[in-house]
């Protein structure tokens, strides 16, 4: 093989490998974006659930901290 053929082959392999690396990098970025979206959705759902729970407790007139403390106090008396 001539030197020029070897250079062309090396250049061709390098170009293909760079395309593969770029594709894998883009795929990793897409997976990262999906992961961030799922995490943000979970955080939002958790915040909404907490807000609804707080609203229900307020409408029922419950004080969670005092009721938990009273419950543990009643258990100690038994």
pTM of the model: 0.60
Spatial distance between the Cα atoms of 7 and 4, rounded to a whole number of angstroms: 5
Two tokens at 18?
């760079």
Q: How many residues does the chain have?
A: 78
Q: What is the pLDDT of residues 17-59, one digit of tens each?
A: 999 999 999 999 999 999 999 999 999 999 999 999 999 999 9
The phi and psi torsions of 61 (rounded to 5 degrees) equal: 75, 25
Spatial distance between the Cα atoms of 41 and 38, rounded to a whole number of angstroms: 5
Spatial distance between the Cα atoms of 11 and 32, rounded to a whole number of angstroms: 31
């Amino acid at each position: 093989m001539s030197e020029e053929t070897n250079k062309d082959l090396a250049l061709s392999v390098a170009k293909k490998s760079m395309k593969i690396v770029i594709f894998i990098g883009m795929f990793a970025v897409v997976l990262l974006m999906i992961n961030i979206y799922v995490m943000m959705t979970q955080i939002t759902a958790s915040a909404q659930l907490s807000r609804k729970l707080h609203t229900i407790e307020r409408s029922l007139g419950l004080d969670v901290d005092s009721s938990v403390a009273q419950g543990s106090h009643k258990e100690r008396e038994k």
